[in-house]
Structures are given as C-alpha cells and as structure tokens.
Amino acid sequence: MNATPETVRIVEVGPRDGLQNEKTIVPAAAKVELIDRLSATGLQTIEATSFVSPKWVPQLADAAEVYTGIRKNPGVRYPVLVPNLQGYERAREVGVEEIAVFTAASEAFNRKNINASIAESLERFAPVIERANADKVAVRGYVSTVLGCPYQGEVPLADVVRVATALHAMGCYEISLGDTIGIGTPARARAMLAAVAAEVPMSALAIHFHDTRGQALANILACLELGVGVIDSAVSGVGGCPYARGASGNVASEDVVYMLHGMGIATGIDLPKLIETGQWLSAQLARDNGSKVGKAA
C-alpha cells in the first residue's frame, strides 16, 4: 500500500528537544532569536521550550523568559512540554496555548526520565489534561522508546499501542511516536506505526525520529508510505535526550524538508530560510551543522 500524503506538517522541536541536550547552555536571548527566525520560515508548529524541573533540565530553566520573549506569529503554534500540574501552571502564567505531555512505552526509561511508572505518569496527566480542556489549551502527547529502550532493551509493540491509545483516549489531539535513541530501522518503524494506527486514527499520529544510526530519513520514508502526515524534526539536527545516554540529535529539519519537497510533498516551508537558520544556530553552538543539506548548500 502506498498512502503517501500530498502535504506534511513539520513540528519543529529544535528549540526544545534540541537545546535540552546541548552541552552549551544557550542564552535566553539566542533561544528567542532562534524561535523568531524559525517563525519566519513557514513552519506551522514550533515546540518552544519545556516547563520541567530546572534541576532535571537546566538547559531550559529559562522557559518563562523564552516563551515571553518570542514574537508570536499568528500563523504558528508554540507548544511547550509540561510534565505535571506545576509545569502547567508555570506555562499558563506566561500565556501558553498548547502543551505536550510525555511518557514512554518503557517502564525503565520513564522512571529515569520523569521519575514515574507509566501508570503514574498517566495519572499525573489526567488533571493536567482536564485543566487544559477547561482552558481550551490543546494537548499533544508523546510516547518515547517506541522502537527500543536504552535501559530495558526491547519494547513490546503492545506496550506502544497501549500507551498511545491511552493518551489519545485521555484527550491528546495528536500522539507523537518517538524513537528516542534512534534504534529503529524502516521495516520495524513501519510495523510499529501500523500497529498504533490500527487503534488510533493515522490523522492523529506523528513520527519523531532521532538519527543516532543514520536511519531517520529511511524510517520516515517507510512511515510516509503508510500515510502519516506529521513529522517532528529539529533544525540543524540538534539535540538528543538527557535521560537516554548516546541518543544523538533529532533528524535535521532541513534534510526532511529537502526529501519531502523532492518527492513533491508540500510543507509550506522556505527551505533556504530554514538552512540559513540552521547555519545561524550552529554558529551559536560553535558546532558543525548536523544537516546534510545545510552542509551541501
């Protein structure tokens, strides 16, 4: 079956998933400039930051300052990560209109990442989602370790399906399926997506690949053919997960957009502007540009 969509929405996660794991702590003003630059590329969704514990993720301790500082483009949504009610309240104080809650398909990873079992995390999200519904705040949900876990190894597909289904039933409008450590390969990625899509509509699913082993674009292509229409990626391939040692950056947004446009799939993104933003970010981080397209340009 080839159900490749004609348009894809990119969820740019660089300012959050990227910068949460960079060794350099980027000053708030530079984070704001990054998001403002991304806002001018045609992206529709930019995950701006995380209202998590600053002890756990010091890189994003300036979440309120960053969120307040960005020039909100009315055509762009700026979701933020929220782990609990305390994070929800901090986010709402600065006017956040969309949040993302996050859990995993692996118990071991969840314990390291958010100090909770999967069941406890879902219990923790219930009042957050309830408050968000009452406040008309949209909620996205993440399931991590969908293709393998750095602590437990194999992650049964049934666990991925169960957690994704639970988040959807709780009111998350979209579930992002995360290959946190970039361990997947195309056939397994496709089988995972197909299993989840049997329970949750494909229109409510997104894919989130880290590129640790250079498999991300191949995995994305395999999933596109099943009809997924939302892809998470990070400008310049920044990041990783602080609680998944060895996890490298997200797939680079520039590379994903280059592939999609080459396949005739519209994203609404101005690729040269995105590449320029990736190069600007790399200069801020004094690192090599992770995007292959950025390098070639």
Q: Which residues are catalytic?
A: 241
Instruction: Number of residues interacting with ligand HMG: please give it, by CB under 6 A.
Output: 28
Using alpha carbons, list the distances in angstroms from residue 193 to 70, 161, 238: 34, 9, 24
- Write the binding mask 162 to 181 for ligand HMG: x where contact by CB under 6 A, - elsewhere: ----------------x-x-
Q: Is the dihedral of CA 25, 31, 34, 39 positive or negative?
A: positive
- Write the binding mask 144 to 163 for ligand HMG: x where contact by CB under 6 A, - elsewhere: x-------------------
Least gap, CB of 115 to ligand HMG (angstroms): 4
Which of residues 45, 48, 51, 139 is near ligand HMG by CB under 6 A? 51
Q: Please identify, using beta-carbon distances, which residue of 1 and 55 lies nearer to ligand HMG.
A: 55
DSSP-H helix ranges across the chain: 28-39, 63-69, 85-93, 107-114, 118-134, 157-170, 186-197, 216-224, 253-262, 271-285, 292-296
17 scored as a contact of Mg ion (CB under 5 A): yes
Q: Please identify, using beta-carbon distances, which residue of 17 and 98 lies nearer to Mg ion.
A: 17
Least gap, CB of 17 to Mg ion (angstroms): 4
For 197-256, the DSSP string reads HTTS-GGGEEEEEB-TTS-HHHHHHHHHTTT--EEEEBGGG----TTSTT--PBPBHHHH
* Exposure of 24 in the CB half-sphere (CA atoms within 13 A): 14
> CB under 5 to 8 A by kind: which of ligand HMG, Mg ion, none does 151 bind?
none
DSSP-H helix ranges across 17-84: 28-39, 63-69
Q: Which of residues 182-241 bind ligand HMG (CB under 6 A)?
A: 208, 210, 241
Note the residues at the interface with ligand HMG (CB under 6 A).
Answer: 17, 20, 50-53, 55-57, 81, 83-84, 86-87, 90, 102, 113-115, 142, 144, 178, 180, 208, 210, 241-243
